[in-house]
Structure 1
Amino acid sequence: MFGQVGRGNPAAVHAARWATPSGAALPTWWRSSRSHTPGYVTGCNFSLTLRRYLSGMSLKTFRHDLAASIVVFLIAIPLSLGIAAASGAPLLAGLIAAVVGGIVAGALSGAPLQVSGPAAGLTVIVAGTIVEFGFAGTAAIVAVAGGVQILLGVTRLGRAALALSPAVVHGMLAGIGLVIALSQIHVVLGGAPQSSAWANLRDLPGQIAGHHGVSVLLGALTIALLLIWPRLVRTTLLPAALIAVVAATVVATALGVDVQRVDLPAEPLSELTTARWPEAPLREITVAVITIALVASVESLLSAVAVDRMHDGPRANLNRELIAQGAANAVSGTLGGLPVTGVIVRSSTNVTAGARTRASAILHGVWIAVFVLLCAAVLEMIPMAALAAVLVVVGLRLVSLAQIRTYARHRELPVYLITAAGVTATDLLTGVGLGMAAAVLFMLWRLARCEIRTTQPAPDTWLVSISGTLAFIASGRLIRGLTALPAAQRVEIELHLDYLDHGAYETLRDWQQSYTRTGGDVHISEVHDSWFHRATSDRLGAGKSTPRFLGSWSRWQGANRDRQHAMAAGIREFERSVAPLVRPELAELTHSGQAPDQLFITCADSRLVPNLITASGPGDLFCVRNVGNIVPAHDALDTSVAAAIDYAIVVLGVTTITVCGHSGCSAVRALMSGTTDTDSALGRWLAHSGVHFDDPTDEQACCTANITQQLANLRTHPTVNDAVAAGRLTLTGMYFDVAQARMYAVDPNRRRHPIST
């Protein structure tokens, strides 16, 4: 699109996009309000970055961030302790990760409103890593994984991490959630978690039947409050996790019962675990490093994308976010903390609580550090059963029913379920591998799938419509459908193909020849592309001549088009694939009426498609098309264009009138040669142009001069003059180079400037 969309802009045209029925083939009208995000932090100077953001905040902004940071801090404390306990790590490691995630990742983050810390999604991986390498070795692996993340960010691979199928990612999180819930329910019931999800599931009936004492009461109270509190109290200042843990702690203290509680070092700073390189084969260490780096990166980036949808501020810079997460993990691992990721629970709470800048995330980390150093005794009153109950609820919430319904509608549920079951039954890498394999198989099945429909629109006439990908594996089904047709009939075959391979082409060609020899008549037409024609011309290996997303109009290209049937085929294609998708938009326009911002005056030349070259849709452009994009002056005898101008300004209230000429204009060539019969209708019409050419041999200059003259003719109309004088209307000239498919702006001095660079 050219120019900035909006009222008063010389090139204001609503943005729209033409896509294909398979996901990129339908018209979808949208406006983008994405902002540019800041670049990388030069040199990653942490203290300079922190001072810059804190000094640049207004008092009003800081007030919002301060309140939000306190809310996030209250949520982070119980979650960090619970995740550390579920991972089998020292509880202090969870708090270290929370502090580092808040301060380091918050200061460097490419997603300013995202809050980082220890995440439930890495619990299973960390637990297995601790069993294999010990906690000191795990801390070293976390630090190295942070370096890998920094490398991914520096090499600008942030968006590549999002290439993983969302069904696999969410299936992985669902599997992790089930593993966490199955292990922590044993703690809630007063027992100890087993080494695998299967063992936890196997021993669960016995654990339920056993005697549990007060632990079950505290866990049940915590779970009940986690579920009920958000329905009773809407304020974010009293998060459910905090209320549930505080209530369980108060009950345990009031009853004076002896239950397992949080155990923190008396001197936290002196008890930091030093990262130590594990004594294990390098291959095993490398696998652990890459696993933590990739899972942490994907989880952080998915969280950043989700947070973007919650606010209208700057969009996330995913490469910079990877660098921030990597720096946080390098610091956290070095200090003996858990892996850090962007956490959607804390991030969404941060946005909901009114955070405006990254200061909220940074301050929440500061509050955690202060609380641990000064109020550790308060944390040591919390029962472990309460933290385990929090993790049970968090784990089960990773199994999202809304996502399951979405994937069921989109036919991605098998991939989701295979990944979740694989992670739960085996391990994370195996489960993700199974999910990715399933996703690839489903993708190949869809790519190789075609739809064959046979109808009889008239006696002795059959219509066979084939859409999708026609490959050799569908040849059997294709030939069965074709041989079922009665002999000696007229058969119309419509191809709506994304791809045609040689095997399927030979099957279709051989049947056509055989059917014709027996007295039948076969006509093959192609919509969207010319695969069959290119195969006939031995050019099947060539790429697509026109992207499918440009819609049904592209079928006009190619030498094999049957012009007699092309229009009917195009109408059928529109009614079959596009009409159901645009009907709601058109119905709304019918109900509310048209309200375009732009009157677009252009040539009637068949090579110009206004909605295509402006990426606009229904309701966006009020168009006038004539030979030579001519606007007769107000005192001319013609009233057709004048009526359209008056209607556009007075009734529709357009804010822009654009005159768009183009290269190779036959009308301009006729004016240049001066050979048009002035007594003919065409000659009399061209005389309305009023254009004078300085150099009649320079075609581009003459086309540009014609545009500027029509703009001058526009100003002779009183309605135009009044609207321009009142600041309600802008006039602009455009020149479209047909061969280059590029638009230029035309200034009053007849100079052309590219709209986009």
Structure 2
Amino acid sequence: MSVFKALRHDVPASIVVFLIAIPLSLGIAAASGAPLMAGLMAAVVGGVVVGLLGGAPLQVSGPAAGLTVIVAGTIHAYGFAATAAIVALAGGVQILLGLARLGRAALALSPAVVHGMLAGIGLVIALSQVHVLLGGDAQSEAWKNLRDLPAQMAGQHSHSTLLGVLTIGVLLLWPRLVKTSLLPAALAAVVIATATAAVLGSDAKRVDLPEAPLAELTFPQWPDAGPGRIALAVLAIALVASIESLLSAVAVDRLHDGPRADLNRELVAQGAANTTSGLLGGLPITGVIVRSSTNVAAGARTRMSTILHGVWIALFVLACAPLLEMIPMAALAAVLVVVGLRLISLAQIRTYARHRELPTYVITALGVVATDLLTGVGVGLAAAVLMMLWRLVRCDIRVERAEETRVTISGTLAFVGSGRVARVLAALPVGERVTVELNLDYLDHGAFQAIEDWREAYEKSGGTVTVHETHGGWFQRATDGRLGEGKTAPPRRFGSWTQWQHLDRQRRDAMEAGIREFERSVAPLVRPHLAGLARDGQQPEQLFITCADSRLVPNLITTSGPGDLFCVRNVGNIVPPYGSGDDSVGASIEFAVNVLKVRTITVCGHSGCGAVQALRNGAAGGSLGAWLRQSGADFSDCADEEHCVTANVAQQLLNLRTYPVVRDAEAAGRLTLTGLYFDLTEARMYAVCPDRRVREPVT
């Protein structure tokens, strides 16, 4: 992309992000108890330094609400000058982490803990700033703010309350009424509140900036505290800032189709920015998902947008400081109340409830509110570990009664669950035929002994017990005294009908045998995921167009699962050109792009394709021949079958671009077209280069 084309997109995007960053930076500084210039300085440094050095070009960095609580506590304990020194040291720690290539390690932290931490921080911010909005003063601790809130609400209210409520109303209604991104809601809300305050002649507290901003910067001083306390404060800021920045970078990657983020480089850049910000008297810096997503949505193409937004902030502060001093503090408090509450995401709560991680999320959030950030995160991590252990030792037990009694035990069966298994087995009526089906990924000796003791007792009472292992290995090895040897075989996820027929010779129908095998062994594993998809609907990222050949299994060769691919399969993976008269493929394309909002359309051919062979030979007639001729592929320059299949895939990509919905989405940067070639013999995927009609290994 040329510099001119990039600037044509990046300059407008930088202005949009700049307009959002000004009120947020002031509000975060106010909520932290820091000088307002510290927030603006952090925004400038975050834009310019991280923009120049960062590994996530479209990510926008600056002061973040996620660090407000910990910064406020640090300022309260040591003062702002010492906090600036701690921020500079935290930046050094981040640089070391990045140079040690530990960027990915930060992502090992449970997302439920991270988002629970952000939700707790958001609640703390909202509880403190609502007091400012109502014309009062925020307390130092969340529970004190919560305790004093009823009295604050019942007291007399000044213009501050009116301006704060007005600001919140504009923030909520503006996106619904005004669709252009050039007028962000935060800017509109602050401008309207400021104008209203001027019209009313309000005496509400306003932004107070120094007359000479550069001459009155607060420079760092060494904290008056022991090395241990300083190290703890440094690590707290470094780790929280790193995790938030890296999570934001990963999230931003999902919003665009440009180069993927280099997390280690991004971590070094964040460290350099925090060191610079601390030395210049600024707040700590992180990657901010709100500003970053706005940057992408506004059309940014390169890192120039991020850099320019920092430049605009610096110029505005130096040239237009009197305008900033007209802003009521209640308006900034209202912005922070909304920002804080939006950190409590209902979509994330639903996701964690669906994945049974909501207790970790809630415990972390409440821990942050009730204690402090580090203690809350520690409690959340402990909860995550306990949830993990509970899942590891949990098994599912189902009892079905028909001609015989079938007890299906799935999951992990250890000694801690053997009592529950023993109770279920002991409740079975005596003297019956019982099949115990084990669908286990682990079995220890205590649990094996519980089942074996019950079997011996049950058979002595006149019953018959058959133990069947779907995944094979554990129970039989325990019976043979070899329980500690090796691991269980992997679950049987797929197989040919002849395999099921061999396994179930007494069955009348091979497909029925396969279905019953699915219901016994696979269904318990995928049922929670399928139930979530049934409830929430499909949201695939990709339309996958491939051949109907029975040897090609899309989810197998892409290692994907239910809900991941929206598949269209036909003979020859053909996409008839737009307006050719075939509505089936066209309807699928329009549905995928317009309704499902897929971000990728993939055409996948394969070796040994009978459709391509028929096209080369020109022998197909009837409906098959009419269908194949819609391919439009030219095989005159193809030396062999591989080149013919590749040429066919390349032609279908051209046919896709005859559809208006595809052209429009691709031009807007919302859609990417790719071609693939799967070699059945090698079981290997290749990327198709449409221009040269050749295949290259998928890296």
TM class, shorter-chain normalised?
0.7 to 0.9
Matched residue, 1:11: none
Cα distance in 1 for partners of 2:496, 2:7 equals: 55
Cα deviation 1:106-145 (Å, max 9, x = unaligned): 1222221111100011101000001112111111111111
List per-residue Cα deviations over 1:3-32 (Å, max 9, x = no partner): xxxxxxxxxxxxxxxxxxxxxxxxxxxxxx
Name the structure 2 match of 1:467.
Answer: 410
**1:16 matched to which residue of 2?**
none
Give deviations 1:552-598, integer Å, cap 9, x for gaps: 559999xxx9987998875423135459778999xx9xxxxx97437
User: Residue 297 of structure 2 is aligned with which of 333, 341, 352?
Assistant: 352
Deviation per CA, 1:380-419: give whole Å up to 9, x if none: 1212111111111111111222222222233222222211
Is 1:597–1:653's contact at 8 Å kept on the other side of the alignment? no
**Whole-angstrom distance in 2 between the partners of 1:743 and 1:149:** 38
User: Residue 27 of structure 2 is aligned with which of 75, 79, 82?
Assistant: 82
- Distance in 2, matches of 1:444 and 1:134, equals 42
Contact 1:184/1:391, CA 8 A, preserved across alignment: yes
2:356 equivalent to 1:411 = yes
1:50 matched to which residue of 2?
none
Contact residue 103 and residue 366 of structure 1 kept, 8 A: yes
Whether the 8 Å CA contact 2:676–2:685 is kept in 1: the answer is no
Q: Aligned partners of 1:543 and 1:646: how far apart in 2?
A: 56
Q: Secondary structure at the match of 2:79?
A: helix
Of 465, 471, 480, the residue aligned with 1:522 is: 465
Cα drift, residue 57 of structure 1: 4.2
Using the alignment, how far apart are the partners of 2:235 and 2:560 within structure 1?
A: 45
State the Cα distance separating 1:264 from its structure 2 match. Answer: 1.4
Shifted more, 255-264 versus 117-126: the winner is: 255-264
Counterpart of 2:112 in structure 1 is 167
Residue 477 of structure 2: which of 534, 544, 568 is its match? 534
* Distance in 2 between residues matched to 1:427 and 1:320, nearest whole Å: 30
Q: CA 1:95–1:189 in 2, change beyond 3 Å: closer, same or farther?
A: same
CA distance in 2, matches of 1:519, 1:654: 69
The partner residue of 1:597 within 539, 547, 552 is 547
Q: CA deviation at 1:754?
A: 12
1:250 alignment partner, one of 195, 205, 209? 195
Partners in 1 of 2:111 and 2:103 — Cα distance?
15
CA contact (8 A) 1:91 1:264 kept: yes
Q: Which residues of 2 match residues 343-492 of structure 1 at below 5 A?
A: 343-458=288-403, 461-492=404-435
Secondary structure of the residue aligned to 2:434 is strand
Which of 227, 232, 236 is the matching residue for 1:282? 227
Deviation for aligned residue 1:486: 2.7
With structure 2 as the length reference, what TM-score do the two structures score?
0.77
Q: CA contact under 8 A between 1:71 and 1:237: conserved in structure 2?
A: yes
> Structure 1 242/601 Cα, relative in aligned 2: closer, same or farther at 3 Å?
closer
Unaligned runs of 5+ in 1: 1-55, 589-593, 603-608, 624-628, 635-640, 657-710, 746-752
- Give the stretch that moved more between structures: 77-86 or 136-145: 136-145
CA contact (8 A) 2:471 2:488 kept: no
Q: Deviations over 1:182-204 (max 9, x none)?
A: 11111111111111111111112
Cα distance, 1:205 vs structure 2? 1.9
In the TM superposition, residue 168 of structure 1 has moved relative to its aligned partner by: 1.5
Q: What does residue 183 of structure 2 align with?
A: 238
Is contact 1:600-1:622 (8 Å) kept?
no
SS at match of 1:375: helix
The whole-number CA distance in structure 2 between the counterparts of 1:572 and 1:474 is 27
User: Given that residues 526 and 555 in structure 1 are in contact (C-alpha distance below 8 angstroms), is that contact kept between their aligned partners in structure 2?
Assistant: no
Distance 1:537 1:225, change over 3 A: same
Summarize deviations over 1:481-516 as a string: whole Å, max 9, x none.
Answer: 212223332221111112111110111122222323
SS at 1:464's partner residue? strand
Letter paired with 2:240: V
Give, in whole Å, the separation in 1 of the partners of 2:163 and 2:651.
70
Match of 1:298 in 2: 243
Q: Distance in 1 between matches of 2:496 and 2:100?
A: 38
> 2:219·2:281 contact (CA, 8 Å) conserved in 1?
yes
Distance across 1 between alignment mates of 2:620 and 2:476: 43
3-state SS of 2:478 partner: helix
Give the letter for the 2:518 counterpart: F
2:206 pairs with 1:261: yes
- Residues 653/462 of structure 1: CA separation in 2 closer, same or farther (3 Å cut): farther
Q: Which residue of 2 aligns with 1:9?
A: none
Question: Alignment partner for residue 511 of structure 1, among 444, 450, 454?
Answer: 454
SS at match of 2:476: helix
- Rounded to whole Å, the distance in 1 between the matches of 2:370 and 2:631 is 63
| C-alpha contact (below 8 Å) 2:410/2:438 kept by paired residues | yes
Query: 1:296 is aligned with what amino acid?
Result: A
Aligned partner of 1:96 in structure 2 is 41
Match of 2:218 in 1: 273
Deviation at 1:612, TM superposition (A): 5.7
1:336 aligns to what? Answer: 281
Aligned equivalents of 1:493, 1:516: Cα separation in 2:
13
Paired AA for residue 164 in structure 1: L
Q: Which residue of 2 aligns with 1:668?
A: none
Is the Cα–Cα contact under 8 Å of residues 528 and 554 in structure 1 kept in the other structure?
no
Distance in 2, matches of 1:202 and 1:412, equals: 30
**Cα offset for 1:158?**
1.8
Find 1:154's aligned residue among 88, 96, 99. Answer: 99
Q: Are the counterparts in 1 of residues 56 and 249 from structure 2 also a CA contact under 8 Å?
A: yes
Q: Return the alpha-carbon distance in structure 2 between the equivalents of residues 375 and 420 of structure 1.
A: 39
> Which one-letter code corresponds to 1:521 in the other structure?
T
Secondary structure at 2:402 match in 1: strand
User: Residues 420 and 754 from structure 1, CA distance in 2 versus in 1: closer, same or farther, beyond 3 angstroms?
Assistant: closer
Secondary structure at the aligned position of 2:301 is classed as coil
- Whole-angstrom distance in 1 between the partners of 2:369 and 2:555: 51
Q: Deviations over 1:646-682 (max 9, x none)?
A: 99877568989xxxxxxxxxxxxxxxxxxxxxxxxxx
Distance 1:290 1:562, change over 3 A: farther
Distance 1:731 1:203 in 2: 63
Question: Cα distance 1:642–1:529, how it changes in 2: closer, same or farther (>3 A)?
Answer: farther
Name whichever of 307-316 and 345-354 sits farther off: 307-316
Distance change in 2, residues 1:283/1:733 (3 Å): closer
Amino acid at match of 1:574: F
Q: Which has the higher contact order (CA 8 A, sep 6+)?
A: 1
Q: 2:93·2:238 contact (CA, 8 Å) conserved in 1?
A: yes
Instruction: Classify the secondary structure of the residue corresponding to 1:258.
Output: coil
| Letter matched to residue 444 of structure 2 | D
Shift of 1:431: 1.1
Residue type matched to 1:518 in 2?
Answer: S
Which residue of 2 is the match for residue 13 of structure 1? none
Number of the residue aligned with 2:665: none
Between the aligned partners of 1:118 and 1:555, the Cα distance in structure 2 is 59
**Percent identity, aligned pairs only?**
65
Deviations 1:31-83 (A, max 9, x none): xxxxxxxxxxxxxxxxxxxxxxxxx7431221111001001101101110110
Q: Which has the larger radius of gyration?
A: 1
Query: C-alpha root-mean-square deviation of aligned residues, in Å?
Result: 4.1
Aligned twin of 1:135: 80
Q: Does 1:574 align with 2:518?
A: yes
Per the normalisation by structure 1, the TM-score is: 0.71
1:551 matches 2:500: no
Which residue of structure 1 lines up, in the alignment, with residue 441 of structure 2?
A: 498
Give 3-state SS (helix, strand or coil) of 1:523's partner: strand
Which of the residues 103, 122, 126 maps onto 2:71? Answer: 126
Return the alpha-carbon distance in structure 2 between the equivalents of residues 534 and 742 of structure 1: 35
Q: Which residue pairs with 1:313 in the alignment? A: 258
- AA in 2 matched with 1:494: E
Give 1:630 deviation, angstroms. Answer: 14
Partner of residue 220 from structure 1, selected from 165, 171, 192 = 165
